[in-house]
Each structure stands twice: as C-alpha cells, then as structure tokens.
A and B are shown apart, each in its own frame.
Chain A
Amino acid sequence: MGATIAEKILARASGKAQVRPGELVWAVPDLTVGHDRNYPRYRERMKAIGVEAIAQPQKFMVTIDHTPYSDDVKTIETRAWMRKDIAAQRVGRFFDLGRHGISHNIPVDHGLVKPGMLVITSDTRSPALGCAGALSIALGAGFLTVLVTGKAWLRVPATIRVTITGTPGAGVLSRDIGEWVAQQIGASRADYRVIEFAGDTVERFGMDERHTLCNAMVDIGVKSAIVPADENTERYCNRFAGEGGIQRVHSDHDAQFEAQLELDVSRLEPQVSRPPSPENVCPVGSVRGQKIDQAFVGTCIGGKLEDLRAAAGVLRGRKIHPSVRLLVIPATHAIYEQALREGLMQVFAEAGAQVAVGACGPCFGVLAPLGKGETSIATATRNEPGRMGADSATIFLANAATVAASAVRGVISDPREFLGRG
C-alpha cells in the first residue's frame, strides 16, 4: 500500500520503512524554529529540570518577532541574555533586530525550509511552511521535548487531499481562497489531519500564496498542510543554491487519503471573516458599510509581498480616511527590503499609514492595539475577543486589498470598486 507525503516524511524522520495513521512515533526534525517569546521560556524550563545543552542546535533558528519594539526593561534584559545564550549554545541561525521577522516567514526568506523536510516549532502557525513541500508541525509546550531530546513524539496523521480548481475574479487573493477553503473543509473534518493540496489553482500559486493557503488551515485544527513540490518550489529552492538538496516527496498513486475534496473557486468573491473565527467567512457585500476605527495589513498570513502589493494597489494616490488609522507591517525585514525596492512603502507613507517591520504587532495585542469598543479590519490571523487589544473590540479579517479599501472609505468596502482606477 502506498504512502502520503506526510507518512513518507514521518517514516524517514523516525527511521522506519513506513508508518500508518494513528501510529505514535519519535521523529527527528530537520529544522526547528523559535522566537523571542518562547526561546527564553524554554531555556528557563530546561534550567529548571537540570538540562543545560540544546539538542541539535545547528538545526535551530531563532528570530525576534513578538517584541521587536518593546521598551520594557525586562524584555530588553532578556534579549541581551538571549543573544549570549544563543551564541553559547551554538544555535544555527539567529535573526537579530534589523534582520528579524516573523518566525513563520523567515524560513522562506532564507531558503531554510525545503521540500521533504520535517519542521518542528512551538508557535501555532508554522504549518504555513508546508508551502515549500515540507511537513511543518507546531507543538506548543511540547517543543521543550525537542530542545531536550532532539526529537518529538508525534501521532501519524491521516491525510485529506483537497483539489482546488478555477481562477477567481478580480479582488480575490489567496487569503480569500484559504479562508473559504477552510470553511468548506470544516474543523470537524480537518482536526488532527494533514491537508494535502492539488489542482490548477494551487499549481499557479507562488510561495506567498501557498504560504497563505497552508496558514489558513491552522484555524480548522489541522496538524499541518502541504503543497507538493513542483516547478515553482524548485524555482524557490534554486534561489538558495548551496543550502542543501531538493527532495521532491509525493504521495503514491495508491496512497490512502481519508477523504478527497474538490473545490471550485472560479465564482469566489472577496471574503470577510466575522468574529470570532477566521473561517467564519461571508462575501464582503454582507458586511459592507460597517464602520471601522483601525485597519491593519501585516502578520504571518497577511504581511507578505502579495499582501503589500495588493494594499499598495488600492492606496496608490489615495489618502486614508481621517477617522481611521492604518498600520502596515511587512512580515520580515527581507519582505520590507523588497517592498522598498518596489516603491510600496512610499505608497503607504503618502497614504498616511503607520509603518513598522517584522513584528506580529496587534495580532499579539501590541504596538497599536485596539481600545474598548473599537472595530478593526485586518489581514491578521485570528479574531477572537481580546486578540488585538481590548476584549470588547471587534475584529473583522479580510484580504489586504479589502483592508486598504476599507481604510480609505472608513467603512468595510469592496476592493473591486477600487480596481482599474488611478
């Protein structure tokens, strides 16, 4: 009987000829990822249980993303300690301020994630790295076990294959497709599963769009999501020659998928996620006219070049509504550099947007959080109460063009009304 991509990667990583869904394995990751919030915490816990050295530190990358703008004394001192500790532990890569960025995006910027890899992280949204044909699994507190032992206990997940076909109309971005697909699959089917994507829509997608698609699956409880490696993946890998070989892993013809779904997105319109969950989508028309106080383009799922280009496309030559604040945060420093080269940052500045770089920002309730009773429309990851500041703030999620259009009008607006003009 054949195997799926996830089963093949987990079999290799656990030194077995084959593994089956439901089996518990100890797997050795190829890449591990930490950040400024969790690195100090895990090191403290290691100390508390009497373990000094990080196992396999050369595979470990650490970045600053939750607190790059913190002026809190404790954070500053923790970071000073962290720099020394990272050097002493011989951690493979450290992305300090000025090279920093969101942990779920940095591995793509630097070609650290490759097809066929097993990536293990602590932070929730790393399944986004399935964009490169890798299996990326987030453990939360269990990441401590990886730092101590160099391996993780994992239950082999069943795989659902989701084929996406069709080309949607103007104003629709990968964000809309991702959240709508998540809604169609649903949490009851997706929980604990791996979603493996196929279909012409996905084949046309570049790394940014694939990253969004995999990232959106996190909210329906997947263990991971993966886009099989193809020519686009190879082009991405070739930009980082010398960073290791490309291993194209594909599901066998007789692999066992728990379910197979086919979804046609050709009639999809721009979507808006109503609180409290991202897959709670409706067409933008259903919430059009809703007044907003704040708009935010950024985060691991909505601060990539695809998103910045779309937002700038709407904002070019326009001003943000006087009663609205717009915050734009490119997800990483590398994305920021490219946005500068393309003139996107100038568009944001001239439109009246506040700009920061490489931070989770309001998606972690910091930098420019929401006050009581305020309403935001954002490209952020989640919209449960309190996610971006006050518990009583209301968060709508949408693609970057919709967020930008809403920032201009002061109310939730359809981005298609802005296309083809100016």
Chain B
Amino acid sequence: MSDKMRGRAWKFGDGVLNDGGIMDFEMVRKGVFDPDVLGRYCLAAVSPDFAKNALPGDIVVAGCDFGRGQLHDQGPLSIKARGVGLIAESVTRAFFRLAISSGLIMIPFAPEIKGRINEGDQLDVDFRSGRIENLTTGETIRAQPMAEFLWEFIDAGGEKNWLQQHYSAQARR
C-alpha cells in the first residue's frame, strides 16, 4: 500500500465529530459499508465543498480531537474510500482505533500543524516517515509517524486483511 500522497490540503477545525460530522449517522444506522457510497458522503456534513471536489491524493488537515464520538467504522472507512490522507493535530482514541482497523493512511498526532498549512496548499506527504512538504510555502515539516507495529495493519489494507493473511484456514496450512 502506498504510504505517500501528493495533493491539495483541505482544512478542518477542532473536534470534528465522527457520527454527524465525518459521516451522517443515518449511514451508521442503516449499516452502510459500501466504499463508493461512504466515499461520496465523506465529511459532507462539515464541508459540502470537500464532498463535492476532493480528489484522491488530497489531504484532510484537521485540528484537535478529530473523530469525536462513537466507535462506528463508517467515518474512517469513508476517508479511506475517498482515497485521501489524514493529518490531524490529534485524533480521538476511538477514531484512532477505527482508523487502524480500516487501514487508513494518516499522521494522527501532528501538533500545531494547522498553523503551518493553509487551505488549498499543495502537500507532498510521506506518511511512513512523517515528512510533510508544503509545496506552496516551501516549508518541510517533520511529524511523528505511526508506530511500526501499526503499519502492519495499514500495509495489509486494514485489520481484517491482516487477519486473513495470518489466521485464515489457508494461511494456517
């Protein structure tokens, strides 16, 4: 799985909710898991502009406590389905867990990142090393990448795929 992305920064504030923010709660209630549907409505409640115009490779740049609320997969799955990356000043514990399970590419703890990236900046991000190059301002930011242990799940494409690789009847043979 690619751990690098190059695209436009879409900025979001602090405390973006998981249900009712990243994803409409109705999708959760209905148990929607179709990536096409989730990707289409990703973050629509917070930024209709993002939902309409974000392209694969673009990067969500969020403030603190991204993904507040319940442990519902649809939020992180929708970001992954949209093909965008995530850099946040911090994500909530619940979102972190779900995002790892979903195999979402992210830099979840990059303090004060919001002040160094503007809406619409072009970014070149190496998620595995934590290097964020702001092509618009020329600044290179070094952030803390995710622990190597967790990349096992990301590289597999999510916890489910990781389990398949290690625990399926086929894998055990």
Contacts and interface: CB of A to CB of B under 8 A. Distances in A.
B116 interface: no
Nearest to B71: A140
Contacts of B167: 49, 51, 148-149
Given A141-B102, A276-B17, A221 B93 contact: yes
B65 A382 contact: no
Nearest to A137: B97
A142 B25 contact: no
B52 interface: no
A385 interface: yes
A192 interface: yes
B31 A37 contact: yes
A190 to B, nearest CB: 9
Interface in A383-397: 384-387, 391
Interface centre among A24, A124, A276, A386 (most CB of B within 10 A): A386
Contact of A382 (B15, B26, B70, B171): B70
Contacts of A187: 15, 65, 68, 92
Contacts of B163: 49, 51, 144-145, 148-149
Given A50-B169, A148-B163, A138 B71 contact: yes
B85 interface: no
Nearest to B15: A187
A223 B95 CA distance: 12
Contacts of B78: none
A188 B66 CA distance: 11
Nearest to B72: A140
A299 to B, nearest CB: 12
Contacts of A142: 97-98, 100-101, 159
Interface string B125-169: 000000000000000000000010100000000011101100111
B158 to A, nearest CB: 8
Interface string A104-145: 000000000000000000111000000000000011111011
Contacts of B168: 49-51
B98 A140 contact: yes
A141 B98 contact: yes
Contact of A221 (B31, B94, B98, B161): B94
A57 B65 CA distance: 35
A276 B29 CA distance: 18
A221 B96 CA distance: 11
Contacts of B94: 124, 138, 140, 221
A45 B159 CA distance: 11
A256 interface: no
A52 interface: yes
A282 B125 CA distance: 42
Contacts of B69: 219, 382, 384
Contacts of B93: 191-192, 221-223
B94 to A, nearest CB: 7
A384 B65 CA distance: 15
Given A50-B168, A149-B167, A191-B92, A387 B97 contact: no
Interface string A39-77: 001000100111110000000000000000000000000
A139 B70 CA distance: 11
A386 B90 contact: no
A141 B72 CA distance: 8
Contacts of A124: 70-72, 94
A37 B74 CA distance: 14
Given A24-B147, A37-B31, 15 more contacts: A48-B164, A49-B163, A49-B164, A49-B167, A140-B97, A145-B163, A188-B64, A191-B65, A191-B90, A365-B25, A366-B29, A382-B19, A384-B17, A386-B26, A391-B25
20 contacts: A24-B147, A49-B160, A49-B161, A50-B169, A51-B168, A122-B71, A138-B71, A140-B73, A140-B94, A144-B163, A145-B159, A153-B149, A191-B92, A365-B29, A382-B70, A384-B17, A384-B69, A385-B20, A386-B19, A387-B25
What 4 A-B pairs are tightest by C-beta distance, nearest first? A50-B168, A140-B71, A49-B164, A384-B20
